[in-house]
Amino acid sequence: MSEPADLRMRELADYPLRNAGSEQGFLRGTVASLSDIAAHRELLGQLVRRELKARYKDSALGFVWSLIRPLTMLLVYYVALGQFLGAARNTPSFAIFVYCGLAAWTLFNESVTSGTMSIVQNAGLVKKVYLPREVFPLAAVGSAAFNFGMQVVILLSATALARQFPVGTRWGYFPLALAVTLVYSTLLALVLSALNVYLRDVQYIVEVGLQLLFWASPIVYPWHLVVQHIGGTWLEQLYLANPMTLVTLGFQRTFWVAGVAEPFPADLSARLGIVLAIGLVLLWLGQRLFANLQSNFAQEL
Amino acid sequence: MTTPVVVQINDLSKRFVIRKEKSLKERIVNWRRSNIHKEDFWALTDVNLEIRAGSTVGLIGANGSGKSTLLKLISGILQPTTGTAKVRGRLAALLELGAGFHPDLTGRENVYINASILGLSRQEIDRYFDAIVDFSGIEPFIDTQVKFYSSGMYVRLAFAVAVHVDPDILLVDEVLAVGDEPFQRKCLERIRTFQTEGRTIVLVTHGLDQVAEFCDRAVVLEQGRVAADGSARDGLRTLRADFEQSRQDELARLLDGDELAGHTRFSGVALRSSEGDDSHPQLRVGDPLVVAMETQTDGAVRDATVGMAITTPLGLTLYSTTTRLLDAGALELTGTQQFQFELASLPLAPGDYAVRTTLTTAGGVELQTVPVAAEFSVEGVERSLGPVAVDAKFRRF
């Protein structure tokens, strides 16, 4: 036997025998899944890049399109809601106000929508190569996060132009709100992508659900209108239980300098913290659910 | 030296549930029916297998015998229903070339993605990139989008990536038969290099000659069970016997009620050398050989053709002839009859050989083929490779 072969044998003998595919079991499985994903983080980066590159590959404007869409939405809401319906009259810097919520919402919306589709769209890979399948929904969240970064740059430029650049402690809300968005986006992307393999209706349910959630968050209408109508009732508490409501408010608290005098729920950071903690537990459970469902992906696709 | 076990499969079974409804509506509407119409299909039952490092194993079997499912279980794409599949070391599975190629991206971008899917780190890809492109031989097009590639170019690039992954275990499913001949040869050469480097290769293929050429072990699967596990030679023999058996079954159905053909078969084949009858004659180079056979039929077959062939132990035909080719006239088979082929001189190099016999009707229906009806060997000094004996000399001027 040749020299490299000998070396390989000796190296191999040191490795333990491991289960082909992913480890089962609740706690042991969590650790195994996490280390598996960590081992594939370079691939995750490649997949995010692939998603970003391939999306606008043959278009002349390319990447600009991912900025044009939210800007168009901003224009529509600004003109239709702000000017025609008069919302801008009672809300200072209405454009920045709307864009705060839209930026957060776009991140969430894009992660969940493309995350839900991610496993089915990568069926070819799922069926032919072993990878920790979590990378596909994670890559969807990753590419949405990249786009979000661009939005934040635009948002900051707008605040700078309006001479309302956010400074000081208000920045404290930003990481908290961003963390909540990412945790819930990832949670939903994981769970829904797995369910979508078994039941293709999920992707349509998601569309409808996201539409509802959009209007159930104070993105294009200000919080004080909500308080006017349902303030002090259990409906207000229900409304505040929506993580995206808190996220939107958190973003507005950070970037919407002109709205400093506007009313806000008093314990916003505490609520964000609680929602984040719950989200992390749910994310863990969601990952376990995903790990359970993923063992049959290859035969269900 | 015993090498470590790299693949260990214990009592592994895999069940597929066959069910058609996919959407919520279909499931609710057909709630009762879908549960009744659910059908279990056992793709693999009680498979036990242990593969040691450095061996090359051919997984062979008829279509649908569970070969690909077994590979997918080893690579972790599928999870076993019962039992376990354990592996050791770095594993790369080539179940489909170019899985994960994105048509809109360039060859270069796809190399990076595909290689990292197969488990290379970015630094490793940077290091191997030139070698990969060089191996694929499509350098001028590396910055073209993959969707404009011809299928040959696509496959070349995909295989080039695959062989530069540095696996301890390589699982290959039917992907070698791609590309043009020079490229195929390059691929096979690379597999040989892998063998000398002590890598373990598990090969699923229908190219039985490839198994004979590369594998030191063959595992025959039959309807999800291991039917044979041994040397490539034994494995191929089992598989060919299986194929012949299923062909016979099919033939029985086909000829069902055909009184004329009845039940026609070889009842015996014997070899006779110059030293007389022998079950396994040992000849010298250039010796004559007589192949005697007896046929039996319940009915009567008009215009039958009897054929015989000399093959290697792995089934490669070296010589074959039939009564038709020998202008022996039409044969009419009734009851028990005896024939013999007389071969005046066999220019065969030393080695083992087998005799195959065939029985065909005028319409071309094969009544029976016996892949290994008898065996013989040729003895002598081994001065050459290959089955043909040539009297050769070397002279220097």
Dist CA B303 CA B364 (whole Å): 11
| Whether B197 and A299 lie within 8 Å, measured CB to CB | no
Choosing from B254, B287, B315, the residue where a domain stops is: B254
- The torsion angle over the Cα atoms of residues A83, A89, A91 and A95, rounded to 10 degrees, is 30
Locate tokens 């297998």: which residue?
Answer: B49
- Option in B5, B117, B196 nearest A129 (CB): B117
Does residue A198 contact residue A300 with C-beta atoms inside 8 Å? yes
Helix A173-198 to helix A94-121 angle (10° resolution) is: 30
Q: Which residues pair with B352 in a beta bridge?
A: B377
Domain that holds residue A127: 24-300
**Mean of all residue pLDDT scores within chain A:** 87
| Whether B121 and A299 lie within 8 Å, measured CB to CB | no
Does residue B148 contact residue B105 with C-beta atoms inside 8 Å? no
Residue A179 domain-assigned (yes or no):
yes
| Whether B105 and A43 lie within 8 Å, measured CB to CB | no
Pair (B319, B214) in one structural domain: no
Pair (B362, B235) in one structural domain: no
Pair (B358, B316) in one structural domain: yes
The overall longest dimension of chain B from CA atoms, in Å, is: 90
Return phi, psi of residue B201, to 5°: -125, 130
Whether A75 shows a pLDDT value over 70: the answer reads: yes
CATH number at residue B341: 2.70.50.60
Whether B248 shows a pLDDT value over 80: the answer reads: no
- 10 Å CB burial of residue B21 (0-12, 13-18, 19+) is middle
Least Cα separation, residue B134 to chain A (angstroms): 23
Whether B385 shows a pLDDT value over 60: the answer reads: yes
Whether B93 shows a pLDDT value over 90: the answer reads: no
Q: What is the mean pLDDT of residues B278-295?
A: 87
Whether A165 shows a pLDDT value over 70: the answer reads: yes
Dist CA A77 CA A81 (whole Å): 5
- Listed residue (B354, B347, B341, B344) closest to B286, CA to CA: B347
Does residue B201 contact residue B170 with C-beta atoms inside 8 Å? yes
Helix A65-76 to helix A94-121 angle (10° resolution) is: 130
Least Cα separation, residue B198 to chain A (angstroms): 4
Whether A188 shows a pLDDT value over 90: the answer reads: yes
Pair (B9, B64) in one structural domain: yes
Q: How confident is the model at residue A144 (pLDDT cuts 50, 70, 90)?
A: very high
Whether A178 shows a pLDDT value over 90: the answer reads: yes
Does residue B117 contact residue A131 with C-beta atoms inside 8 Å? yes
* Least confident range of A24-33, B15-24, B233-242: B15-24
Q: Measured at the alpha carbon of residue A245, what is the angle toward residues A241 and A251, in degrees to the nearest 5?
A: 135
Least Cα separation, residue A177 to chain B (angstroms): 33
Does residue A52 contact residue A146 with C-beta atoms inside 8 Å? yes
The pLDDT assigned to B95 comes to: 79
Question: Which of chain B's residues have a Cβ under 8 Å away from the Cβ of A201?
Answer: 23-25
Domain that holds residue B296: 258-379
Question: Which of chain B's residues have a Cβ under 8 Å away from the Cβ of A12?
Answer: 3-4, 6, 53, 88-89, 168
Q: Is A169 on the interface with B (CB under 8 A)?
A: no
| Whether B23 and A296 lie within 8 Å, measured CB to CB | no
Dist CA B139 CA B131 (whole Å): 11
Locate tokens 């999870």: which residue?
Answer: B79
* Least confident range of B82-86, B247-251, B297-301, B331-335: B247-251
Whether B333 shows a pLDDT value over 70: the answer reads: yes
Q: What is the mean pLDDT of residues A148-154?
A: 90
Pair (B264, B240) in one structural domain: no
Q: What is the mean pLDDT of residues A133-161?
A: 91
| Whether B76 and A1 lie within 8 Å, measured CB to CB | no
Locate tokens 């903690």: which residue?
Answer: A277
- Listed residue (A282, A156, A16) closest to B88, CA to CA: A16
Residue A77 domain-assigned (yes or no):
yes
The pLDDT assigned to A276 comes to: 95
Domain count, chain B: 2
Pair (B250, B264) in one structural domain: no
- 10 Å CB burial of residue A31 (0-12, 13-18, 19+) is exposed
Question: Which of chain B's residues have a Cβ under 8 Å away from the Cβ of A126?
Answer: 77
Q: Is A19 on the interface with B (CB under 8 A)?
A: yes
Pair (B307, B216) in one structural domain: no
Return the residue in B78, B90, B145, B165 with the most chain A beta carbons within 10 A, the one to mutate for interface testing.
B78
Q: What is the mean pLDDT of residues B8-13?
A: 89
In our burial notation (b when 16+ CB lie closer than 10 A, e otherwise), range B148-187 reads ebeeebbbbbbbbbbbbbebbbbbbbbbbebbeeebeebb
Whether A199 shows a pLDDT value over 90: the answer reads: no
| Whether A54 and B105 lie within 8 Å, measured CB to CB | yes
Which residues lie below 8 Å from residue B148, measured CB to CB, with a gap of 6+? Answer: B141
Q: What is the 3-state secondary structure (H, E, C) of chain B?
A: CCCCEEEEEEEEEEEEEECCCCCHHHHHHCHHHHHHHCEEEEEEEEEEEEEECCCEEEEEECCCCCHHHHHHHHHCCCCCCEEEEEECCCEEEECCCCCCCCCCCEHHHHHHHHHHHCCCCHHHHHHHHHHHHHHHCCHHHCCCEHHHCCHHHHHHHHHHHHHHCCCCEEEEECCCCCCCHHHHHHHHHHHHHHHHCCCEEEEECCCHHHHHHHCCEEEEEECCEEEEEECHHHHHHHHHHHHHHHHHHHHHHHCCCCCCCCCEEEEEEEEEECCEEECCCEEECCCCEEEEEEEEEEEEEEEEEEEEEEECCCCCEEEEEECCCCCCCCEEEEEEEEEEEEECCCCECCEEEEEEEEEECCCCCEEEEEEEEEEEEEECCCCCCCCECCCCCCCCC
Does residue A245 contact residue A176 with C-beta atoms inside 8 Å? no
The pLDDT assigned to B359 comes to: 87
Listed by number, the residues of chain B in 40-99 with a beta carbon closer than 8 Å to a beta carbon of chain A are: 53-54, 72-79, 84-89, 91, 93, 95-96, 99
Least Cα separation, residue B230 to chain A (angstroms): 22
The pLDDT assigned to A191 comes to: 95
Does residue B208 contact residue B236 with C-beta atoms inside 8 Å? yes
Does residue A130 contact residue B76 with C-beta atoms inside 8 Å? yes
Pair (B215, B289) in one structural domain: no
In our burial notation (b when 16+ CB lie closer than 10 A, e otherwise), range A32-53 reads bbeebbeebebbbebbbbbbbb
| Whether A57 and B116 lie within 8 Å, measured CB to CB | no
Least Cα separation, residue A204 to chain B (angstroms): 11
The count of other CB atoms within 10 Å of the CB of residue A25 is 11
Dist CA A14 CA A6 (whole Å): 13
The count of other CB atoms within 10 Å of the CB of residue B344 is 8
| Whether B116 and A46 lie within 8 Å, measured CB to CB | yes
Residue B132 domain-assigned (yes or no):
no
The pLDDT assigned to A217 comes to: 92
Whether B148 shows a pLDDT value over 70: the answer reads: yes
Q: What is the mean pLDDT of residues B109-126?
A: 86
* Least confident range of A201-205, B184-188, B372-376: B184-188
Residue A93 domain-assigned (yes or no):
yes
Domain count, chain A: 1
Residue B267 domain-assigned (yes or no):
yes
Least Cα separation, residue B20 to chain A (angstroms): 10
Which two structure tokens, joined as six digits, stand for B204?
Answer: 């699923």
Residue A183 domain-assigned (yes or no):
yes
Residue B231 domain-assigned (yes or no):
yes
Pair (B277, B372) in one structural domain: yes
More confident site: B315 or A102: A102
Q: What is the 3-state secondary structure (H, E, C) of chain A?
A: CCHHHHHHHHHHHHCCCEECCCCCCHHHHHHHHHHHHHHCHHHHHHHHHHHHHHHCCCCCCHHHHHHHHHHHHHHHHHHHHHHHCCHHHHCCCHHHHHHHHHHHHHHHHHHHHHHHHHHHHCHHHHHHCCCCCCHHHHHHHHHHHHHHHHHHHHHHHHHHHCCCCCCHHHHHHHHHHHHHHHHHHHHHHHHHHHHHHHCCCHHHHHHHHHHHHHHCCCCCCCHHHHHHHHCCCHHHHHHHHCHHHHHHHHHHHHHCHHHHHCCCCCCHHHHHHHHHHHHHHHHHHHHHHHHHHHCCHHHHC
Residue B21 domain-assigned (yes or no):
yes
The pLDDT assigned to A18 comes to: 78
Does residue A89 contact residue A225 with C-beta atoms inside 8 Å? no
Q: Is B104 on the interface with A (CB under 8 A)?
A: yes
Pair (B264, B343) in one structural domain: yes
Residue B368 domain-assigned (yes or no):
yes
Residue B109 domain-assigned (yes or no):
no
Residue A158 domain-assigned (yes or no):
yes
**A228-284: per-residue pLDDT in tens?**
888 888 898 899 999 999 999 999 989 988 888 888 888 888 999 999 999 999 999
Pair (B270, B298) in one structural domain: yes
The pTM of the whole model exceeds 0.90 = no
Q: What is the mean pLDDT of residues B55-69?
A: 87
* Least confident range of B54-58, B296-300, B353-357: B296-300
Q: Tell me the range of A58-62, A204-208, A261-265, B270-274 where mean pLDDT is highest.
A: A204-208
Q: What percent of chain A has pLDDT over 90?
A: 36
Pair (B300, B230) in one structural domain: no
Question: Which of chain A's residues have a Cβ under 8 Å away from the Cβ of B89?
Answer: 11-12, 15
Residue B156 domain-assigned (yes or no):
no
Least Cα separation, residue B197 to chain A (angstroms): 5
Q: How confident is the model at residue B320 (pLDDT cuts 50, 70, 90)?
A: very high
Q: Is A54 on the interface with B (CB under 8 A)?
A: yes
The pLDDT assigned to A209 comes to: 94
**B171-208: per-residue pLDDT in tens?**
888 766 666 778 778 877 888 888 888 888 898 887 77
- Listed residue (B299, B298, B283, B293) closest to B357, CA to CA: B293
**A77-127: per-residue pLDDT in tens?**
888 888 888 878 888 888 889 999 999 999 999 999 999 999 998 888 888
The pLDDT assigned to A143 comes to: 92
The pLDDT assigned to A91 comes to: 83
**Mean of all residue pLDDT scores within chain B:** 83
Return the residue in A129, A205, A295 with the most chain B beta carbons within 10 A, the one to mutate for interface testing.
A129
Least Cα separation, residue B58 to chain A (angstroms): 19
Residue B182 domain-assigned (yes or no):
no
Cα Rg of chain B, angstroms? 26
